[in-house]
Chains A and B, each alone.
Chain A
């Protein structure tokens, strides 16, 4: 599968990747190697120029526009910059994701406390994003991504704006979510996290898969090096 952007940038080149149900996968590589593009292909933000993309046995790249909404309800997406609505409280930000999919208010009242409890923010549900720490904001974003009970979580640099302790918090949260059976795909630059977790690591370089290791390290073969693993 390949992706070329209209400006001629070859974002992804002959990618062949399969991720199983309930897997936890790190996507690593330099900036601009196509990590974000790969995630975008999965939630149908972009379509490949050649090849096929399947999510949960549904072919995504040829999906009709009207079906994209349904696909996205099965995918939770989390970004580096949180993308919360600044004029809405934590509760409202999470509830928003349900409300705009036409959920009944009874479901909203049941699901929002459940995910807020899961991310540990029940006590801050009435706060605005500006009153939260970076880690709390990201947990709110994760709660929002989770509230539709997605089968897949896509995280694009979820800890990129966070300090080490908040980073650990978020990664542990993602791990818990993964243990409940959700497939988690994390694009990251954070070597420490990747090396500590010892999960499947897919390294991209210039839009190609450089290597794909079960229980891998951020740098292949250098993981045990105490200096580099931080």
Chain B
């Protein structure tokens, strides 16, 4: 390791940084804002996904059997359902128990004593491993002999899946725009630095510095702006996580606030570094004609 060389290189990057400090702060600020929003989005997305998963995992498929199906046949159907790998479990609900459950659920609103006979069929309650599979599993159960009707909250499932999808798309679109803005601001900052240092660059070219050598400090400058911006944002998000999230959790007790924070932090840092690196690379390529 040649410390003199490293020191000189770091000095060059430092000079780049201080040459237009205000622009540099703007670039870092833009990256920070972008990354804060991206981080918030990722957190909300994780939470919504977990929440949606929570609801979806409770969705059951009701499989009603025909009246002429005897217990033996019902057991065979249960065994067949158990063999399906997508199915987490199938509980047999005989008509007697079904009526009891209905009584419990509806309470005094429904006077079962008026019934002369139990109108409910024997049924299975099927829980599916992956909520996305609900419609498909339901469709595959329907043709089984002895099955009268298959019922599930089709609307709820598809709407939830759809809403989550739309949310993700809109969010990603917005973040793509923000990332682009941050990239343009970094690229512009690099352009100004190139302009501010044109005398040095001319001399570097004159004395035979290689293109790569001339470009490196500028690319490092963009990388540093991206990483510092992301670090600032991660700091802000960490504070928000500690200060704000418990309060929100208290208000929205039914929503499980959960996300993989260390992974999100790493992703954000990578985004910041990537934006800085790509933006400065492109900018140096365009404005540093060497």
Contacts and interface: CB of A to CB of B under 8 A. Distances in A.
B208 A72 contact: yes
Contacts of A66: 210-211
Interface string A88-122: 00000000110111111110110000000000000
Contacts of A69: 208-211
13 contacts: A66-B211, A69-B208, A69-B210, A83-B203, A100-B204, A100-B209, A101-B208, A102-B213, A103-B5, A106-B4, A144-B207, A145-B207, A148-B208
A55 interface: no
B211 A72 contact: no
A145 B210 CA distance: 16
Contacts of B254: none
A105 B2 contact: yes
Interface of B: 2-5, 8, 199-200, 202-211, 213-214
A123 interface: no
B144 to A, nearest CB: 71
B213 A100 contact: yes
B206 A43 contact: yes
Interface string A9-29: 000000000000000000000
A105 B202 contact: no
A173 interface: no
A70 B208 contact: yes
Contact of A72 (B3, B8, B199, B207): B207
Contacts, number: 67
Contacts of A83: 199, 202-203, 206
A105 B206 contact: no
Contacts of A103: 5
Given A83-B202, A85-B200, A101 B2 contact: no
A73 interface: yes
Contacts of B208: 68-75, 101, 148
Interface residues of A, number: 29
A100 B5 contact: no
A100 B214 contact: yes
A77 interface: yes
Contacts of A75: 208
Which secondary structure dominates where chain A touches chain B? helix
Contact of A104 (B4, B199, B207, B214): B4
A65 interface: yes
Contacts of B4: 104-106, 108-109
Given A72-B205, A74-B208, A100-B213, 11 more contacts: A69-B210, A71-B208, A73-B208, A85-B200, A97-B203, A99-B8, A100-B203, A101-B208, A102-B5, A102-B210, A105-B5
Given A65-B211, A100-B213, A72 B206 contact: yes
B1 to A, nearest CB: 11
Nearest to A99: B8
Given A43-B206, A65-B211, A100-B204, A105 B3 contact: yes
A145 B207 CA distance: 7
